[in-house]
Chains A and B, each alone.
Chain A
Amino acid sequence: MRAFADLLERLAFTPQRNGKIAHLTQFFAATPDPERGLALAALTGDLGLKAVTPSLLRGLVAQKVDADLFAISYDFVGDLAETIALIWPPATSHTPTTLPDLVAELQQSPKSALPGLIAMRLDAMLPNERYAYLKLATGGLRVGLSARLARMAVAEFGALQVEEVEEIWHGLTPPYTDLFAWATGGPKPTSAAHAPFRPVMLSTATDLAALQSLPAADYTAEWKWDGIRVQATNDHGTRKLYSRTGEDISNAFPDLLAALNFDGTIDGELLVKRGDHIAPFGDLQKRLGRRTVSRKMLDSHPAHLRAYDLLVWQGADLRALPHTDRRSALDAAIATINHPQIDLSPLLPFQTWDDLATLRSAPPSDVIEGVMIKRRDSPYLAGRMKGPWFKWKRDPMVIDAVLLYAQRGHGKRSGFYSDFTFGVWDNGALVPVGKAYFGFTDAELKSLDRFVRNNTTETFGPVRALKPLQVVEVAFEGLNRSPRHKSGVAMRFPRISRIRDDKLAGDADQLQTLRDMLPD
């Protein structure tokens, strides 16, 4: 338990992804089975403990500590589990416990016995163990560890390809003993799951100059839709919808799951579609990340699958076939499925790259973010390799904005002000419209850092308010309406694309200019 508590603490204070992975790989190397696998499941939220309620914990601590003293302390600390972990009377004797034992007894204990069990364990633990134990029991570890990051850490630990780990992930269950056996030189686990996730083939960015050296006749092109890339599968009646990193998002899309009346695996784009109209990404976002979805939401934001590729059809794995053969099979499959919520991503007619450039410059929908280009003979391969698939995105939207606040970065950028909040004009005042922390070169970072230090008006902890002087060009991939932001808009992937020392703050854009860029 001590090792898990220490890991949890380090993860909680390590914002950088690589730092988190380093902590995890070191933990995996130093911790035996089944503890490391249970820890992994606890961190990714896959442990499935019945949650201990906050009121149970409040009841426990009320028996140990004066109510006023607890209230004053909780007010200062701000987190229930942490307050209890710190305020609990110290252990008279520290009994080492193991994560597997603690998990097992929490799973097996009847509800009525939980308070006694938890109190007994807290009595014999160190404060950071108590914290980890309470977070475990309440199911709220919240250390910012996605399942994706966990898989990357396992891959790093075992020197495996992350795509290979993703492929078998859904067939695995805690404590992942077979996974760790594989990572330490044993055999690769065979995926026992029905409807397994299959690693997605990804594209690399390109532009017209790079394309000109390639024979256009060897490639197909289609629109790149601004939804989320998914894999829809029906394996002998088991239906699944996966994101491109292998997250199971089936629960959020029961309407689309019901439409998967086939036996096979389709690669496509998940969109919200009303009649013939594809809705902007913001509408799809409302349906993401939900465990359940209301009837009303199903009616107002209906899910749709636009098919790009066919990986498996009626038991046959098509991935090794050339793209054109898979595409023919896909055409036939979609015709057979014949469902209004599933359609084909049409191929674009072009002879030369300049033809394609013309098409790209005037897409028929706002929800198209460029074109996808695929070599006709390409098999379906896992991961992102240079070619044979390319994305040629539409030019980003840009505005000129004024830097308003700056915050110091972490890791390699600690010591540098690298995270910026920028704003545009609205009725004569600057309103914040977004944050950006990349897009600039190292040299530009140094010059921005110098600007921040010389033009600070106020500091709030790690944040500095700036004189509104520095104009930057901000590039972004799209714009959504957002009631949560004061400006009413939220940018996607904003980054600082140019430093505009040639412009004065008064030359920066108006908020109305941004509003005019919103999709219908």
Chain B
Amino acid sequence: MTPAQTTAATLLQTRPEGLYCPMGDFYIDPTRPVQRALITHGHADHARAGHGAVMATAQTLDIMAIRYGADFTQSRQPAAGPQQIGDVAVSFHPAGHILGSAQIAISHKSIGTAVVTGDYSRSPNPACAPFEPVPCDILVTEATFALPVFRHPDPGDEIARLLASVAAFPDRAHLIGTYALGKAQRLIMLLRAAGWDAPIYIHGALQKLCDYHVTQGIPLGDLRAATITRGQKRDFAGQIVLAPPSAFAATWAQRFPDPVICFASGWMQVRARARQRGVELPLVISDHVDWPDLTRTITELNPAETWVTHGREDAIIRWCALQGRTARPLRLLGYEEEET
């Protein structure tokens, strides 16, 4: 290990539970129950139930309570302004990923500042606050889409393709697979921005999280349950229906005759991925940084070291080497790529 890494390691270490700060005795997004967890955002692979104390943004705490019940932790600690935990100062900064998502900055006056990005995005998202660049010595970044082939297109263009397909196939329902938290609400906002004022039908699994967004001042327009009443026939022709991808495998999907299966995800950039899922209309809409935004972030923040938490680290480590930057993979396990 280089001396720099040795120093940095006193700020953050990897342990089987996840990323650990020994000087503050807490974990960030741990994958196993711990005494004290700091949580970047509410997606299930980052925010798990059962920790002794959880510090997160107020919205992330709300979301965890919605998903896991009010008793998901013994102590909720809303992040508000910089706070001292043990020997380090901790602050939360918007990550632009989903509602409530944050980066976590950890500072020690002699060692410096580490920023853990969590999942983040720099493309405009009306459903959450935009990413805030935080100067740092160690950037601990995600790398979900860290390959130079990932350049996310303008989401407005993807919505235009969807609406063109709806117009071309007025007899079929368009059934969009989307993650229930974040992606679903972003899709709805994008559809509204594109002028789709008609009701949007949603699977039951999306209801509570959509309701919560509305209470947070994010207008979603006319949402209706994609249910069928007994004895009443309806085929959702010409309608847009949102559901978690798992619903496509359930009998739930059988109510739609001849639907156009769509899927909204950054993975849809790659054809083999779309085909694997049996998707007829792939929509490349992502809540993560793509390759240009990831490399731009590293260049702008210009950290002494870049650590890569989860995703495809090979390419970004190679890129850092080409740029003469110090970088290393953390190979944290337990963060799924499936639902992003």
Contacts and interface: CB of A to CB of B under 8 A. Distances in A.
Interface of A: 6, 10, 12-15, 19, 22, 26, 65-66, 68-70, 72-73, 76-79, 82-83, 86-87, 90, 127, 408, 410-412, 414-416, 449, 453, 461-462
Contacts of B161: 6
Given A69-B319, A82-B271, 9 more contacts: A10-B165, A12-B275, A13-B279, A76-B147, A86-B270, A410-B278, A412-B257, A415-B251, A415-B253
Contacts of A15: 280
Contact of A22 (B151, B169, B257, B270): B169
Contacts of B277: 461-462
25 contacts: A13-B279, A13-B282, A15-B280, A69-B318, A70-B148, A72-B312, A73-B147, A73-B148, A77-B270, A77-B272, A79-B272, A86-B149, A86-B150, A86-B269, A127-B153, A414-B253, A414-B259, A415-B248, A415-B252, A415-B253, A415-B255, A415-B256, A449-B254, A462-B249, A462-B278
B249 A408 contact: yes
B149 A73 contact: yes
Contacts of B275: 12-13
A275 to B, nearest CB: 48
Which 8 interchain pairs have the tightest Cβ spacing?
A: A415-B253, A86-B149, A415-B254, A412-B258, A73-B149, A72-B315, A87-B148, A73-B147
A93 B153 CA distance: 15
Nearest to A70: B148
A65 B149 CA distance: 11
Contacts of A414: 248, 253, 256, 258-259, 261, 278
Contacts of A127: 151, 153
Nearest to B256: A415
A127 B251 CA distance: 36
A78 B274 CA distance: 13
A66 B295 CA distance: 15
A19 to B, nearest CB: 7
A416 B254 contact: yes
B280 A14 contact: yes
A143 to B, nearest CB: 11
A461 B246 CA distance: 11
Q: Chain A binding site: helix, strand, loop or mixed by DSSP? A: helix
Interface in B136-157: 147-151, 153
A62 to B, nearest CB: 14
A461 B276 contact: yes
A13 B148 contact: no
A241 B128 CA distance: 65
* Chain B contact patch, size range: 35 or more
A73 B277 CA distance: 21
Residue among A14, A19, A22, A76 with most chain B CB within 10 A: A76
B1 interface: no
A87 B248 CA distance: 32
Contacts of B315: 69, 72-73
Given A13-B281, A78-B272, A83-B149, A66 B248 contact: no
A416 to B, nearest CB: 6
Nearest to A409: B278
Interface in B213-243: none
A414 B257 CA distance: 8
A15 to B, nearest CB: 8
B178 to A, nearest CB: 17
A453 B251 contact: yes
Contacts of A13: 271, 274-275, 279-282
A83 B315 CA distance: 14
A26 B149 CA distance: 31
Nearest to B157: A126
A15 B260 CA distance: 11
A140 to B, nearest CB: 13
B201 to A, nearest CB: 16
Given A73-B149, A414-B248, A414-B259, A26 B278 contact: no
A22 B280 CA distance: 13
Contacts of B274: 13
B246 to A, nearest CB: 11
A453 B252 CA distance: 12
B211 interface: no
Contacts of B281: 10, 13
A79 B277 CA distance: 18
A22 B257 CA distance: 17
Contacts of A415: 248, 251-256, 259
Contacts of B257: 412
A416 B315 CA distance: 40
B148 to A, nearest CB: 5
A410 B322 CA distance: 45
A66 B168 CA distance: 41
B314 interface: yes
Given A408-B249, A414-B259, A415-B254, A65 B148 contact: yes
A79 B274 CA distance: 14
B272 A26 contact: no
Interface string B96-120: 0000000000000000000000000
A119 B282 CA distance: 27
B258 A411 contact: yes
A412 B280 CA distance: 13
Nearest to A6: B161
Nearest to B279: A13
Contacts of B280: 13-15, 19, 410
A408 B245 CA distance: 14
